[in-house]
Amino acid sequence: MANIGPVGSVMLQRKHRSSAQCPRCLLEETNHHILLCKGTDTQELYASGLHSVTEHFLDGPFHVEQAIVELIQAYRDERQPDFEIIDDDDVRSAMQSQWDMGPSLLLWGVLHTEWEDIITEHLAGTRRSTPKWLAQMCNTIWEITDNLWKNRNKQEHKADDSPINIQRNLVADRLIDDIYGIIPPLRLLPRSDKNLFQATKAQRKAKYLKVKLKWIRRAQTVLLAYRSINARTPESQILLNFILRGRQQRQQRNEEQHQEHLPTEKQNGCGMKHVGFYGARPKVDGYEI
């Protein structure tokens, strides 16, 4: 309600996200958008919540039920409520005051004081408490907001097939491609770094998004550390250049050398031909590849 919750726009301001997109529909996410989003499962949650609200009014005033449901649906549909459907003047006045106070406040559990007199009159002659009845109504309405928020968090953090996580997976896969293009030779790395890069690119891409993002951060940190090494001698500079040369360049060089050393046919003493591979194994900076 105060627009300080961890929605997309707020998390972008805090630099905890790279965009303000809603995880359900990819539009800009604000505190109001949580309640207005038309994305995954939201319509079903609204319908279920309104059903719970109407059940609360089984022993309540019918005109108040009409007014409350109309206010919720009007805010959801982003339109003005139809005040003419309410015949009772007091209920219509409370409905108007509630809307003027703020269309979204009802879903946050904030009620106008005019409702109190109406419910008190309805409960007259019973032992039931007006504040308790209104509090139960607020809790029932609040469940709609709570379920929408929980659904939003599920789409944000747990569902890899949500619209925003599909986008994040594509970005993560591109980063994995870039990392595998510059991984140093595994035989030159310490055991911990060798284990970090041991899985194939396809295996990394098949992981859950959370696992991929965690691996990407670790891999980028390790590669940055290698690039930050201060080589003080010519020999160490040669070794560092070899380590940082990258897998793509080595693969390209191997293909070129393979073309230079294609198998040749040779006639043996029996008149038969056999295929042989001639030439020593190529070396780079003193290492056989």
Report pLDDT digits (tens) over 80-93: 999 999 999 999 99
The pLDDT value given to residue 42? 92
Report which of residues 120 and 283 the model is more confident about.
Answer: 120
Per-residue confidence (pLDDT) for residue 278, from 0 to 100: 40
- The answer as to whether 3 is a domain residue is no
Task: Tell me the β-bridge partners of 283.
Answer: 288
Both 134 and 34 in a single domain? yes
Residue 34 inside a domain? The answer is yes
Confidence of residue 247 (pLDDT cuts 50, 70, 90): low
Q: What are phi and psi of 98, to 5 degrees?
A: -65, -45
Does any domain span residue 199?
yes
Number of domains in the chain: 3
pLDDT at res. 260: 64
Q: What is the DSSP letter of 272?
A: -
Q: How far apart are CA 168 and CA 34, in angstroms?
A: 21
Q: Which of 119, 135, 157 is the last residue of a domain?
A: 157
Residues 262 and 284 in one domain: yes
Q: Are 188 and 84 within one domain?
A: no
Shared domain for 153 and 175, answered yes or no, is: no
Residues 38, 151, single domain; the answer is yes
Structure tokens at 203: 């295996």
N-term to C-term CA, the chain: 63
Q: Could you give the C-alpha distances from 182 to 175, 194, 196, in angstroms and in order? A: 11, 14, 14
Same domain, yes or no: 102 and 20: yes
Other Cβ atoms within 10 Å of 79 Cβ, number = 10
Residue 232 lies in a domain: no
Residue 138 lies in a domain: yes
Domain co-membership, 33 together with 115? yes
Does the structure show a pLDDT above 90 at 118?
yes
Q: Is residue 120 a contact partner of residue 60, using CB atoms and an 8 Å limit?
A: no
Spatial distance between the Cα atoms of 201 and 181, rounded to a whole number of angstroms:
10
Higher local confidence (pLDDT), 158 or 238: 158
Average pLDDT over residues 141-149: 93
Q: Which domain holds residue 139?
A: 8-157
**Is pLDDT of 140 > 60?**
yes
Percent of the chain with pLDDT over 90: 58
Q: Is residue 234 assigned to a domain?
A: no
Both 48 and 111 in a single domain?
yes
138 in the same domain as 69 = yes
Question: Is residue 75 included in any domain, yes or no?
Answer: yes
**pLDDT score of 282:** 44
217 and 264 both lie in a single domain: no
Q: Strands 283-284 and 273-276, how do they pair?
A: unpaired
Per-residue DSSP letter, 106: G
Statement to judge: residues 89 and 186 lie in one domain: no
The pLDDT assigned to 284 comes to 42
Instruction: Decide if pLDDT at 45 tops 50.
Output: yes
Query: Among the residues of 102-162, which ranges form H helices?
Result: 114-122, 130-157
Q: Which of 126, 157, 188 lies at the terminal end of a domain, its last residue?
A: 157
Strand 283-284 and strand 264-267: pairing?
unpaired
- For residues 188 and 212, state if they share a domain: yes
- CB neighbours of residue 138 within 10 Å: 15
Task: Tell me whether residue 64 is in a domain.
Answer: yes
pLDDT 10s digits, 183-237: 888 887 888 888 999 999 999 999 999 999 999 999 999 888 877 776 677 766 7
In this prediction, residue 286 carries a pLDDT of 43
Pick from 157, 176, 199: which residue ends a domain? 157
Which pLDDT band, with edges at 50, 70 and 90, does 20 fall under? very high
